[in-house]
Amino acid sequence: MSARDKEPVAVLGSGSWGTALAIQFARTGRAVRLWGRDPAQLTSMAGSGCNARYLPGVRFPATLRIAHALPEALAGARDVLVVVPSQGLRSVLTALAPLLSSQRKIAWATKGFEQGTGLLPHQVAREVLGAERRVAVLSGPTFAREVGAGLPTAMTVASPDAHYAQALAEELSGANFRAYSSTDIMGVEIGGATKNVLAVGAGLSDGLGFGANTRVALITRGLKEMTRLGVALGASAETFMGLAGLGDLVLTCTDDQSRNRRFGLLLAAGRRPQNALAEIAQAVEGYTAAEALRTVAAGAGVEMPLCQMVYRVLYEGLPAKDAVRELMSRPIRPESA
């Protein structure tokens, strides 16, 4: 192993996904420093050698250690990976900004729109860190529990800098983890944000007993809405047929490990949105993304009836059955539209 390979990676965010990615980096032989905002949780993880709250039973590799302060995590680190919910990204990047040299690259595994601004993660990073810094996003059909368990997984690393995307994909990949590179950061982030809203719809649909036909129709037409918005915002249509588009959409809409799908199931069972969020007790990106997506789509002049239906159920109290009835009564149009 070269001296370059031994330089540590700082993973900022000690939830389930941040911990899983820290474990994956450590499995490749990299030294990893994992930091989070909860001092008590950090102390517990340092003592037990695992994240008992989110990934119980998954032991930390020997090269992974807990950092109790942000400067400690960053000291000597060549790569920085931020893994926090979208509403926390700006504050973490703001705290990072004065601690970073101009050459240090930043990646994140955050999906969704920033609440209030409707900005995607790379747009938030540009505002906080400037347009010159090399950045990347990690996205795709991945559940933290399966990555933590070492099950075979594939995902996408996207950056406007093709060399950075390729290098990060290679460094993250291992025996049971394969990363692919892309330069379409807009498309990858649109896919990651939009699929959460559609997964809430899939949970609602399944929870109300609408069946497999409805679920597949929602996924297929949802993919069309996602692609339409992405292309309007400058993304490549091809991106949405890959891991960060179709792959992530299918996974999130069909497996109950998805918080967004479980949120929809709870709503179908009669829970109010705030009660369902409290019951899940982790970030449900689809809830805030539904509101942001409505604004972004309107600004781009893009029609997204499925995502609009989810918004109305969440924020206007529209009964899901009535929303489905409205969708089914829309004018008939060509499938390609």
Contact 225, 306 (CB under 8 A): yes
Q: Which two tokens stand for residue 3?
A: 């001296």
Strand partners, 50: 59
Residue 157 CA from chain centroid, whole number? 12
> What is the C-alpha to C-alpha distance for residues 254 and 90, in angstroms, rounded to an integer?
31
321 is catalytic: no
> What is the C-alpha to C-alpha distance for residues 274 and 72, in angstroms, rounded to an integer?
37
Greatest extent of the chain over all pairs of C-alpha atoms, in Å = 63
First-residue to last-residue Cα distance in the chain: 53
Q: Active site residue: 6, 111, 195, 321, which one?
A: 195
Dihedral over alpha carbons 241, 282, 307, 153 (to 10 degrees): 10
Element spanning 268, H or E: helix 259-268
Residue with tokens 């604004």: 295
> What is the C-alpha to C-alpha distance for residues 54 and 69, in angstroms, rounded to an integer?
21
**Catalytic residue positions?**
195
